[in-house]
Amino acid sequence: MTAAISAPPAIERPAHRDGNVLRWLAAYTASMVGDSVYFAALSWAAARSGSPAQAGLVLAVGSLPRAALMLGGGVIADRFGPRRVVIASDAVRCAVILAVTVLLLVTAPGIWLLVLVALVFGAVDALFLPSVGALPARITAPGQLGRVQGMRGFAQRVATVAAAPLGGLAVALGGPAAGFGVAGALFAVSLVLLMAVRAGELVPDEAAGTAESAGRQLVDGLRYICGHRVLAPLLLVAAVMELGFAGPANIGVVLLADQRGWGAAGLAWTMGGFGVGAGAAALLLAVRGRIGRAGAVQSWGVVAGSVALAGIGFAPSVGVAAAAGLCVGLCTGLGGALIGALVQTVTEPAYLGRVTSVATLFTVGIAPMTYPVVGAAIGTWGIEPVFAVSAAVSAAGGVLGLCSRALRRAELPG
């Protein structure tokens, strides 16, 4: 199925001056902060209501429906339009979290109620994430998609910095109920902003595709990805990079700081270097809007960032680890932003939900499953070899991208 966005703007307005894009960005930022506050409140409520093992179950169980239903969420986004789906799913998230807030104010919920909340939230996330990722192509011109991805990446870093103290303060002052209440309020703000976002429709309308079964649409989307000269290697780069990168960048750095005796301050400096680098890379793309030879640059960024990731594992001091983290953030941040921009620009609009769901599946569904593997491997073989092997896996993603002539030559519209 081939389709285009209806009613394109007569004049291409810069994304950072487009109120429609800024409303979407503000909604996305509020949602990300709300997510983090929700997880903080859920963690505290689970720890207060059950054993450590049960608390771990509550935190892990939400990832199962998110991973299992993510591809279906992409089909629904393409079938009914991402704006409709993202508004409906955000409304459900808001209602669920506010209902939990009320329950926490009047009673002490059991651990299984928290498990149910985590399952419902994970299932709704499987609808929300592909839809919110598919919206940029509907709200701005193709030439602005690179800038939008840079703005999105920078907003992610801002949300990461703001969410931790906000969630901690809410839980400290009012317990889990206050945390859930703040998260619900942020989801409500996100919902209001999303309802004010104008999005183009497909020509023909998505309704023409509803005659197909959801299963056939999913197979059609996967076939589209596999047959695309740029998308297939691009998503392969993203998947392989995440499989090698996620474990060391999360649990690996924590264990490194602990074993080297750097403490929480060393961990903060290392992760802070990564955050600053990634934010700077996203800001660069947001300001420039376009980077030449985007396909080649993103692959080289993955390779360079993977080398820097290995350097963290061999760092003799906090300062060296922080500097390596800065390099990791700069290189992988730029590579990741360019991957997102290329996905938006080379994908036909009718397939964006399904393509986004495949890309998101690896980042929030499959890659986190490497955390226990990396943790166990570090316990068995030590920090250095695990970081080296993981970095080699991540770098292999960039090498695969460089082996694709079509991807090396891919450009962002300008």
Residue that is last in its domain, among 170, 201, 232: 201
Q: How far out from the chain centre does Cα 193 lie?
A: 20
Shared-domain flag, residues 267 and 384: yes
The label of the residue with tokens 């285009």 reads 4
Question: Per-residue pLDDT tens for 52-62?
Answer: 667 767 777 78
292 occurs within a structural domain: yes
CATH number at residue 328: 1.20.1250.20
Distance, CA of 324 to CA of 391 (rounded, Å)? 13
pLDDT (0 to 100) of residue 85 = 94
On whether both 43 and 152 belong to a single domain, the answer is: yes
Which of 201, 231, 258 corresponds to the end of one domain? 201
Query: Rounded to whole angstroms, how far apart are CA atoms 203 and 213?
Result: 20
Same domain, 137 and 262: no
Per the domain annotation, does 120 fall within a domain? yes
Asked if residue 134 and residue 177 are part of one domain, the reply reads yes
- Encoded tokens for 407: 């991807």
Q: Is residue 185 part of a domain?
A: yes
Give pLDDT, residue 143: 86
Report which DSSP code applies to 200.
P
Give the C-alpha separation, 309 to 248, whole Å: 8
354 shares its domain with 389: yes
Which helix H or strand E contains 202, and what residues bound it? strand 202-203
For residue 225, how many C-alpha atoms fall within 13 Å in the half-sphere facing its CB? 22
Residue 1, in any domain of the structure: no
Residue 207 lies in a domain: no
Q: Is residue 401 part of a domain?
A: yes
Do residue 269 and residue 375 come from a single domain? yes
Torsion angles phi and psi, residue 140, rounded to 5 = -150, 170
* Half-sphere exposure of residue 44: CA atoms within 13 angstroms, side-chain side: 20
Clarify whether residues 188 and 228 are in a common domain: no
Please give the pLDDT value at position 214: 79
Indicate whether 63 and 18 sit together in one domain.
Answer: yes
What is the reported pLDDT for 347? 93
pLDDT given for residue 237 in this prediction: 95
Question: Which helix (H) or strand (E) element contains residue 4?
Answer: strand 4-5
Q: Is 53 found in the same domain as 21? A: yes
Could you tell me if 65 and 183 lie in one domain? yes
Report the pLDDT value the prediction gives residue 172, as an integer from 0 to 100.
Answer: 82
pTM for the model stands at 0.86
Closest by Cα among 281, 287, 271, 414 to 339: 281
How does pLDDT run across 218-236, given as a tens digit for each residue? 999 999 999 999 999 999 9
Per-residue pLDDT of the chain (414 residues; tens, 9 = 90+): 445 554 444 456 788 889 999 999 999 999 999 998 898 888 888 877 776 667 767 777 787 888 889 999 999 999 888 999 999 999 999 999 999 999 888 877 678 888 899 899 989 999 998 998 888 888 988 888 889 989 998 888 888 777 777 887 888 888 888 999 999 999 999 999 999 999 876 654 444 455 567 789 999 999 999 999 999 999 999 999 999 998 898 889 889 988 999 988 888 899 889 889 999 999 998 988 889 899 999 999 999 999 999 999 999 999 999 999 999 999 998 999 899 999 999 999 889 999 999 998 888 777 877 888 888 899 899 999 999 999 999 999 999 999 999 999 999 986
Give the residue numbers spanning the domain of 352.
Answer: 214-408
Beta-bridged to residue 202, according to DSSP, are 5
- Point out the domain boundary residue: 146, 171, 201: 201
Predicted confidence (pLDDT) per residue in 318-331, tens digit = 999 999 999 999 99
Number of structural domains in the chain:
2
Q: Per the domain annotation, does 293 fall within a domain?
A: yes
Same domain as 193, residue 292: no
Q: Is 178 found in the same domain as 139? A: yes
- Name the helix (H) or strand (E) containing 5: strand 4-5
CA dist 150 and 412 (Å) reads 13
4 within domain boundaries: no
Structure tokens at 337: 């932003």
